[in-house]
A = this chain, B = another copy of it.
C-alpha cells in the first residue's frame, strides 16, 4: 500500500516535532541532496499558465527515488477565501515505478522553502546577521522567520506588507514566540539596518518590492516571490550590484529575478557553494541575492524526510493507489470480482 499524509496529519507532524526542528531536519536533507546534485535527473518544471494563475508539475529523480509535486499559484485566491497555492506530491520507487508515498504539500512547501532559504542564508548572509526585513507577510512569512531564527539566530524582524492585516497576523503569530518585531509602513523603513531582506510577495507581474536605493552593502537578499515568467520583485539594478545565487540555473533563467537580465548574466548554483566548488559570501560588503524560485530537489528532500519521520506512526494512512491483482497480468480480474460490488458482472456481460 502507498502511504499518505494529508493536511491534518502534516500539521500534526510539524506540531509534534516542532516547526523549528522540522525545518532543521529538512534543511539537512536538502544539504545532503545538494551535495549529491550531479546524480539527479533535473528538468525545469512544466507550467500551464492562465490569465490568473499557473499550475506546475515538478519532477526529479535519482537512481532510487522519483519525486514530483503538483502546485499552483493563484495570487487572487485569498480574495475568494482560499490559499494562493495548493500542493501535493509523491515519491516513487525507481526500481518498480510504483508510488510509495503521497502527501499534501501546501504546508510542506512552506516548510521546505524556509529550509532552502536557511541553507542559502547560512552561506550568503554575514555571520553576525541578527535583523531580517520581511517584505510580504503572507502564508509563508512565519515559516521563513522561524527557519531563520533556528539556523541563523535571527530574532529581530522588520515587517512590511501592502496589506496591514497580513502584518498584524504575523505579529500575532510570532510575538508570543519571542520575536522582536517592528511593523513598518514603508519598505525603506523596514530594510534600513537589516542584515537579511526576505521578499515574498505574490503578485503575478513585474513588481518592484525592493528598489535599488533600499539595498545597502553587506545585505543578503532572500528573494522568494519572483518565481514565474513575468513575476519578479527586485529592481534589476540590485542584481547588477549583487552576487546572485540560484537553485537550478536552467529553470531560474525562465522564472527568477534574472529573467530580467541578459542570458549570460553570471549566477552561481547553490550546490556549488554547498560542495565548496564556488564561493558564497566573500567580503563583508558583498550584496548577495538568493534568487529562489523553488526547485524540485528540495521537494524530494522534504518528501523523503517527512516519509521517514512519520513512518510507522498514525500520521501515515494507507491509500488505495496500487492495483494488485493476485496475478499481475490479470488486471481484468479486479473488475470481475470487485470488493463489495453489488452486481454479478460476469453474468451481465455474457
Contacts and interface: CB of A to CB of B under 8 A. Distances in A.
A68 B66 contact: no
B98 A349 contact: no
A83 B331 contact: yes
Nearest to A8: B339
Interface string A67-84: 010101110011011111
A342 interface: yes
Interface stretch (A56-64, A116-124, A206-214): A56-64
Interface stretch (A85-93, A183-191, A232-240, A258-266): A85-93
Interface in A332-350: 332-336, 338-343, 345-346, 348-350
A86 B95 CA distance: 13
B328 A81 contact: yes
A11 interface: yes
A325 B73 CA distance: 17
Which size bracket describes the interface of A in this complex?
A: 35 or more
A61 to B, nearest CB: 5
Nearest to A79: B328
A205 interface: no
B83 A340 contact: no
Given A43-B46, A349-B20, A328 B104 contact: no
Chief secondary structure at chain A's binding surface = mixed
Each complex incorporates copies of this chain amounting to 2
A335 B15 contact: yes
B335 A94 contact: no
Interface stretch (A223-231, A272-280, A316-324): A316-324
A315 B299 CA distance: 31
Contacts of A151: none
Contact of A59 (B57, B78, B142, B342): B57
Contacts of A77: 96-97, 328
A26 interface: no
B323 A9 contact: no
Contact of A321 (B81, B88, B146): B88
A152 interface: no
A137 B332 CA distance: 11
Interface of A: 4, 6-9, 11-12, 14-16, 18-20, 41, 43, 46, 48, 50, 52-55, 57, 59, 61, 63, 66, 68, 70, 72-74, 77-78, 80-86, 88, 90, 92, 94-99, 104, 106-107, 110, 137-143, 146, 163, 165-166, 169, 173, 176-178, 319-325, 327-336, 338-343, 345-346, 348-350
Given A57-B59, A83-B324, A142-B332, 17 more contacts: A11-B335, A11-B339, A18-B345, A70-B92, A70-B99, A73-B97, A78-B328, A82-B328, A86-B97, A86-B322, A106-B323, A106-B331, A139-B331, A165-B329, A173-B332, A178-B350, A319-B319
Query: Closest 9 interchain pairs by CB?
Result: A72-B97, A6-B320, A11-B338, A106-B323, A142-B332, A139-B331, A15-B341, A78-B328, A15-B338
17 contacts: A11-B334, A12-B341, A19-B349, A46-B59, A50-B61, A55-B61, A55-B66, A82-B98, A83-B328, A85-B97, A104-B320, A104-B321, A140-B331, A142-B331, A142-B332, A169-B329, A319-B319
